[in-house]
Amino acid sequence: MINIFNLLMYFIFPRTCACCGRNMPVNTVNNICEPCLKSLAKNDGLKCVVCSMPLKDGGEHCYDCRHSKIYFNFLKTPYVYTGKIKKLIHSFKYSNRLFLAKDLSKPVADLIIKENWDKETDMVIPVPLHFIKKFTRGYNQTALLAAEISKIIKKPLYENILMRSSYTKPQFGLNRKDRNENLQNSFSINKKHESFLKGKNILLIDDVATTCATANVCAELLKKSGAKKVLVIAIARTEL
Ligand SMILES: [Zn+2]
Ligand SMILES: [Zn+2]
């Protein structure tokens, strides 16, 4: 049923698709139109069985999963980081389009449910943003995403267990070893809440999985504090 107030609001401020700018149907709660949503690049082709990196030529594991120690159990994403989803995530992260948290968390939650990860999960934890970045940006987009996901799958959200301990130096220009060290020093577990992690299955939320190094460092810390399983979910996975 079309509510009169919504109808009036629609004519005054028609809701437009955050992706293509076309007017959205009256009374919709979404911010991305159906055609745009359908056209986003799905990560459903050949990919690494552990980290979901698209592998055009097939194969079980990507280079990183074959050659480095991976602490998370699996990482999955509904989309590949390219085209329209890249643009949407960018405007969610840097242009204050916080309302996209709901739209972007829906396909992520659908994948969690499809994989039965919702049943396994004991707690939802977002990858933290350093407080200086949070302060300058005003919000942690990953925490917003995690809050939506926690509501949909009805599992508790813990934002204060995994912490960003120091301002990460830009990763650019560092070699692989230094990059890892730089990352490792920038996360920590809040000792006050560490006991919560014993034997728990964690669903770790990230926005974009680029190298997976961040997810891996977080997973390492969570497991060393007693977590049983760390499943990582992000909106999109970058290609090689
Ligand atoms: Zn659209
Ligand atoms: Zn992999």
Residue carrying the six token digits 């190094």: 213
Half-sphere exposure of 142 (CA within 13 A, CB side): 25
pLDDT digits (tens, 9 = 90+) for 95-126: 888 899 999 999 999 999 999 999 999 999 99
Within a domain: 203: yes
Ligand with smallest separation from the Cα of 216: 2
Asked if residue 234 has pLDDT above 80, the reply is yes
Q: How far, in Å, is the centroid of ligand 2 from the Cα of 70?
A: 9
**Above 60 in pLDDT, residue 63?**
yes
Q: Give the percent of the chain with pLDDT over 70.
A: 94
In a domain, 70, yes or no: yes
More confident residue, 22 or 168: 22
* DSSP-assigned letter for residue 211: S
Cα(222) to centroid of ligand 2, in Å?
20
Q: How far apart are CA 118 and CA 8, in angstroms?
A: 39
Q: Are strands 187-189 and 162-164 parallel, antiparallel or unpaired?
A: antiparallel
For residues 25-39, b (16+ Cβ closer than 10 Å) or e, as one string? eeeeebbbbeebbee
Give the E-state strand segments of the chain in sequence order: 74-76, 79-80, 123-126, 162-164, 187-189, 201-205, 208-209, 229-233, 236-237
Here the tokens at position 230 are 């760390």
Q: Is residue 8 part of a domain?
A: no
| Residue 137: predicted pLDDT | 74
Asked if residue 14 belongs to a domain, the reply is no
Rounded CA-CA distance 177/207 in Å is: 24
Q: Give the number of domains in the chain.
A: 1
Residue range 9-36: mean pLDDT, rounded: 87
Report the C-alpha dihedral over residues 239, 112, 227, 176, rounded to 10 degrees: 10
29 CA → ligand 1 middle, Å:
14
Whole-number Å distance between alpha carbons of 80 and 53: 9
Judge whether 48 lies within some domain. yes
Examine the pLDDT at 74 and tell me if it is beyond 70.
yes
Q: Say which CATH number the domain at 86 has.
A: 3.40.50.2020
Considering the chain, what is the average pLDDT of its residues?
90
User: How high is the pLDDT of residue 178?
Assistant: 78
Q: Is residue 97 part of a domain?
A: yes
- Point out the ligand nearest to the CA of residue 15: 1
> Is residue 34 one of the residues assigned to a domain?
no
What is the value of pTM for the model shown? 0.90
Per the structure, the complete domain to which residue 156 belongs is given by: 40-237
Q: Which residues lie below 8 Å from residue 148, measured CB to CB, with a gap of 6+?
A: 101, 102, 105, 109
For 205, phi then psi, to 5°, come to -105, 130
The per-residue pLDDT for range 166-199, each reduced to its tens digit, is: 666 666 677 777 777 788 888 999 999 999 999 9
What is the maximum span of the chain, computed from C-alpha positions, in angstroms?
60
**pLDDT value at 130 more than 80:** no
Ligand 1 centroid to Cα of residue 112, in Å, is: 24
- 1 pLDDT above the threshold of 60: no
